[in-house]
Amino acid sequence: MCKSKICNIAFPPILCVTGAFLNVGVHLLATGENMLPLYLDTIFTISVTLLVGPVWGCLTGALTNIIGHTNNFWGWEGYLFALCNIATALVTWMFMRFFPQELSIVRAQTENVKSRQLDKVMNLIFVLTLLSFALCLVISILGGLISVFIEILRNTAVSEPVLNPASPPVMFYNEIPLVLREILSRIPINIIDRLISAFAGFGVAKLVSAACNFVSSAPTKTRQNAK
């Protein structure tokens, strides 16, 4: 969670709304002309959670889904996937509790030793990678369960195989239980998506934190120079 300097400057509701719109914007850019098979709609949810805590992170995730799905509406069921965005904030917050030092966005005063700095970087990479895998697992399971629920409601397949139904891969695919099929089909995309989102989200949070600290320290330096 952010320190007082950040909270005093970056008003949480503004961060929340801005983060949600940026999530939708990045998602549209990624899936537009580039047609990347990624979502990339949780980067700023992670950033907001790191900056101002899980409540605003959850609100950012929920608002992202509301804005994005309303823009590309295909049925009320799509709003259920807001649970995945909310889960992103909660998992991130859980990792903040377990790894407060590694995921701290406030620069700590430590010895300027190269080996120590290298250890910090390696620990950060490890924790962010672990966070990515955790997000991938949670979102894949939750997204798969939501898809099965929608499929039951609509009595139609949410995700259909694109190959010949008689081909061996698809025959094997169809023999897998529906819930497991929906979950497993999401993992390859989700792992890449969450790796990008976790590292990018942390980077954005660090940049916002540094900017806020710079702005907050500017008046103090000005008064000191005036004296």
Which pLDDT value is given to residue 100?
A: 93
At residue 36, does pLDDT exceed 80?
Answer: no
Q: How confident is the model at residue 37 (pLDDT cuts 50, 70, 90)?
A: confident
- Tokens 């005036």 locate to 226
| The pair of three-digit structure tokens given for residue 138, joined into one six-digit string | 């949670």
Token representation of residue 166: 């008689």
The predicted pLDDT at position 128 comes to: 97
CATH number of 4-214: 1.10.1760
Reported confidence tier of residue 110, pLDDT bands at 50, 70, 90: low
Q: What is the dihedral of CA 218, 224, 226, 227, to 10 degrees?
A: 170
